[in-house]
Structure 1
């Protein structure tokens, strides 16, 4: 009884709801974009509401292609297995900055727009990342030449070039409209895995203050261009403490969802390290999200080729545990990679070894797919 009274008092004075297991969920949230469209506000409120039921399942490039197929209308490897679509669809707009017809994964931007609109009509949600090229060198996102980021900040030699890239992104975001002409809300995850050193915007290639300046400039510039249909996701790689996670954090007025990416590697066949690391990071992030009044997510995850037949219920579910996260997104189902001579996919398809377990995962009360979120 005493513990319940303490929980009630915490909830009353902080806007945070606590469970007996110490897991916290936010009840006092607001979007960082104060001019966000009504549809965007509604989606954000829905995401918060749904955390009380479970977490949304997402998949990168789900509608565009899968293992051994490409651009088949209405098809999805997830739907082939469970008869339902993911709740969240991941896309990447790398290539947009160069006026390419196709994105970094070969998906035509016109098809991407179609898929985003199609998913929205059904009640699905889209999230967008951006592996854009290094503006200082012209090489790809993985070119981590030191101090490249500094050159795109106001006063930098590549600042004007960079603003034209943001102009193209703004045009793309504003082109995403539903049948009523309303802008479709998007979960935008720029500068992802920012604590890793492998991207030009990553840790070690710029100072924390430079990164914060870039984030704030991007946020404010897109708003200046009239883009108000974005929910901003702050995304890191691994971290070991609250202070570590927040080193590059631009502030509560510039982000809506806090997230990290984590993958199981081949040297961790039992998934022990993956579960332990994910749980440890959620423990830290859970406290931060409660204090900052933010949602949290596992923005990228997976085990390449899923060799474990019980991975979904035996590993991924345990890794997420009881934490009230918004969503988990699995990476893409590319299929055969000729250059690497191996299969590259992160979600099951018909006949894949983990197919049956994925059906069990789908049937869990806590996993939410498209049909689940349409009802809510």
Structure 2
């Protein structure tokens, strides 16, 4: 979510497929963006129906997980409307880990209201385990030695097993949502071209994308989480054009291509066209932002199916008047305009 650079290494474990395998991606990918093809996901079908016409308004609810609708409610207090996309995070600190169930319960409530559900995971570095801090040298902003990375990629090694156990914990919550019929926009390993996150910053087929591919295979095939709509996400660095190629995990591994917009230059046509090219017919979205797009920009760049502003930055970087104007625009979908889920 912020501006950073640094190279780290890549994992590809294989639980059930061999370490770092690129096996059959499974059934999670839906053919998003192909309007001639009906998806098994209600969410994808709805997003396809609005693509090129309207954009869903969303906001992230960052920590604490004890109040998982805090920023959604703040938008309502400011605009009189609720966002049509609710977003939560599994997070990494002990208190937020303890309150993951509250976040999942809120996801279910929001789904029943008709909202699109987005969940992400600022995961702790598996070499040090959870809970962890943000940038304490062993937290979310940390790295691995070559030896640690090799161990992590060795199926059945202590570090490899530790990482799988972390993923298994997350899977239990996602399985709860599956049992309730909740479809989840799942945005793990966000900002894959962001080198300060332990999972990011290594381009190419043998880089960061392999970990993402492994996670897709594991959660889809081994854990049976067919309720996940996979969101591949990168940030708008100056290297975006190359990053959209070098960090692309392949069409079988995602349903939506998302761009996080933080570099200060805003919603340029170049960024928009870069994401359209990278997505190759799949849906595109604004995965995170601080400064909101205007309704006029979203009319010009009408293929963005949603924007998700970042919690407190929404109010730090935009005036109440700007937020109100956007949320009341005729091409913006707020919760009361959603059709509801079956």
Q: Shared fold by TM > 0.5?
A: yes
User: Mapping of 1:139-158 within 5 angstroms?
Assistant: 139-147=138-146, 150-155=150-155, 158=159
Indicate yes or no: 2:307 matched with 1:328: yes
C-alpha distance in 2 between matches for 1:347 and 1:30:
38
C-alpha distance in 2 between matches for 1:358 and 1:49:
25
Aligned to 2:336: 371
Assess, with a 3 A threshold, how the Cα gap between structure 1 residues 82 and 170 changes in structure 2: closer, same or farther. Answer: same
Indicate yes or no: 2:110 matched with 1:119: yes
C-alpha distance in 2 between matches for 1:297 and 1:47:
10
CA contact 1:286–1:323 (8 Å) conserved in 2: no
Indicate yes or no: 2:284 matched with 1:296: yes
C-alpha distance in 2 between matches for 1:317 and 1:175:
39
User: Mapping of 1:30-41 within 5 angstroms?
Assistant: 38=40, 41=41
User: Mapping of 1:155-234 within 5 angstroms?
Assistant: 155=155, 158-176=159-177, 182-204=180-202, 208-223=205-220, 224-234=222-232
Aligned to 1:260: 259
C-alpha distance in 1 between matches for 2:62 and 2:170:
22
Taking CA–CA contacts closer than 8 Å with sequence separation of 6 or more, which of the two structures ends up with the larger relative contact order?
2
CA contact 1:264–1:302 (8 Å) conserved in 2: no
Structure number, greater radius of gyration:
1
C-alpha distance in 1 between matches for 2:233 and 2:290:
16
CA contact 1:87–1:370 (8 Å) conserved in 2: yes
Cα deviations across residues 164-196 of structure 1 (Å, max 9, x unaligned)? Answer: 11111111101126xxx5331100011111111
C-alpha distance in 2 between matches for 1:264 and 1:246:
19
CA contact 2:51–2:302 (8 Å) conserved in 1: no
Cα deviations across residues 344-367 of structure 1 (Å, max 9, x unaligned)? Answer: x3248xxx9722232221221211
* TM-align CA RMSD: 3.2
C-alpha distance in 1 between matches for 2:191 and 2:70:
32
Assess, with a 3 A threshold, how the Cα gap between structure 1 residues 172 and 71 changes in structure 2: closer, same or farther. Answer: closer
CA contact 2:276–2:284 (8 Å) conserved in 1: yes
Unaligned runs of 5+ in 1: 1-24, 32-37, 266-272, 304-310, 334-344
User: Mapping of 1:64-103 within 5 angstroms?
Assistant: 76-95=73-92, 100-103=94-97
CA contact 1:189–1:232 (8 Å) conserved in 2: yes
Paired residue total:
297
> What TM-score comes out, normalization by structure 2 length?
0.76
Unaligned runs of 5+ in 2: 1-32, 130-137
C-alpha distance in 1 between matches for 2:114 and 2:149:
37
Assess, with a 3 A threshold, how the Cα gap between structure 1 residues 79 and 150 changes in structure 2: closer, same or farther. Answer: farther
Aligned to 1:245: 244
Tell me the CA shift for residue 27 of structure 1.
2.1
Q: Secondary structure at the match of 2:206?
A: helix
C-alpha distance in 1 between matches for 2:318 and 2:235:
28
Indicate yes or no: 2:277 matched with 1:287: yes
> What TM-score comes out, normalization by structure 1 length?
0.70
Assess, with a 3 A threshold, how the Cα gap between structure 1 residues 288 and 28 changes in structure 2: closer, same or farther. Answer: farther
